[in-house]
Copies of this chain bind each other. A is one copy, B any other.
Amino acid sequence: MIKNLLKKDGVSSKIVLIVLDGLGGLPIKDGMTELEIAKTPNLDKIVSFSATGCHIPVDFGITPGSGPGHLALFGYDPTKFQIGRGILEALGLGLEVGPYDITARGNYATIDKDGKVVDRRAGRIKTEENIEITQKLSQAIKNLPISIKSGKEHRLGLVFHFNKPVESTLKDTDPQSEGLFPKEPEGNDDASKLIREFLSIVKKVLKDQEKANYILLRGFARMPEIESFNSKFNLKSCAIAVYPMYKGIAKLVGMEVLNSNGESFKDQINTLKSAWGDYDFFFLHYKKTDSAGEDGNYELKISAIEEFDSYLPEIMSLNPNVIAITGDHSTPSIMKSHSWHPVPVLIYSKFTLGKTSQRLTERECLKGELGIFPTYKLINYLLAHSLRLEKFGA
């Protein structure tokens, strides 16, 4: 419906979507959450003029991964756009994926002399060892249309490049249990042939490795057919993120990914400033809140929130028409993981009711004018508050 309501032109309003990754939490001390404990004078100032609420990324009680969480924030119903693991791994590691390419997630594994899998994760080798082996392997396959890149420990991302549409009957080669042979692709299609060739080189190059002497492949996936964010919402968007995963998801929906001169949030804000004239939608990703929550380090999560708060005036000084501040999912420190809890959100603009919540916290946002709503509808509010939507019906 939104598509038909988008104003065609003449709108120059600017929207900033700030994602504090894993923002929501649960009580950790004296019954208070990380957001409640954190001192956030700058956020507190704008809350009275903001619409607040909570959003649910996937469904009631469902814990979202970062992929679905961000897709929802970008206005895509994540239950309708399930993104293969291979593609997220590849994009996440910064590999380029073309429209006909096939991606996969790889595990370095140990096989015995007969070829049976002895350890599906090659004893979880160290990342440094992975990088070294992957370089050697890259060298050996440099004439093949294949890109590979190390992930953490035994993991790697792979892209099999094709310059035209190819059939694919590929299934995971990982047999899922030790003591079995890998299930190698048997098809006569180009994709199966290329992967067989790749695997035979892998076997030769890695044969003397003690642990990582083979690769198991999982989650074969192509670039999904997904309408670009810019076309869907008539916006010129960019993404300012540091971690490859979030750059990857932004790329997936066709946002322009901007590189910063460094990895600090200060660097990201400098990028925001210098790109201010060139776009009208800015996705600004702040990672520290999630990492701290995942580590169960609530003090770090609190200080990450406070650090973000200290940068808020710089963002405000750009005078955006609409700022949304929220998370892609909750990551309560006490759970050390993502969770299903609704994520607090604040929308600052000239056209809010306001004065419903005292602060941007889980409990205060429950009182807000936005209520509890599906995350993928947030974009409606951003477009509305930036006056980019026509009236529905006469």
For residue A89, which residue of chain B has the nearest CB? B394
> How far is the CB of A388 from the nearest CB of chain B, in Å?
10
User: Considering the chains assembled together, what is the distance between the CA atoms of A139 and B353 in angstroms?
Assistant: 52
Identical copies in the complex: 2
The listed residue (B27, B66, B392) touching A78 by CB distance below 8 A is B392
Interface: A381 (CB within 8 A):
yes
Which of A182-190, A250-258, A359-367 lines the interface with chain B? A359-367
Asked whether A61 and B353 contact (CB < 8 A) given A85-B394, A393-B67, A393-B82, the answer is no
Which of A126-134, A312-320, A332-340 lines the interface with chain B? A332-340
Interface: A355 (CB within 8 A):
yes
Asked whether A65 and B371 contact (CB < 8 A) given A79-B1, A355-B31, the answer is no
Main secondary structure of the interface of A (DSSP, over half): loop
Which of A111-119, A201-209, A297-305, A372-380 lines the interface with chain B? A372-380
Task: Assess the A353–B27 pair: CB atoms within 8 A.
Answer: yes
- CB contacts (< 8 Å) of A65 on chain B: these are 391-394
Task: Assess the B353–A363 pair: CB atoms within 8 A.
Answer: yes
Q: Give chain A's interface residue range (CB within 8 Å of chain B).
A: 35 or more
- CB contacts (< 8 Å) of A353 on chain B: these are 26-27, 33, 341, 362-363
Interface: A63 (CB within 8 A):
yes
Task: Assess the A392–B355 pair: CB atoms within 8 A.
Answer: no
Residues of A within 8 A of B (CB): 1-2, 5, 26-27, 31, 33, 48, 54, 58-68, 78-79, 82-83, 85, 88-89, 332, 334-335, 337-342, 351-356, 362-363, 366-369, 371-373, 377, 380-385, 389-394
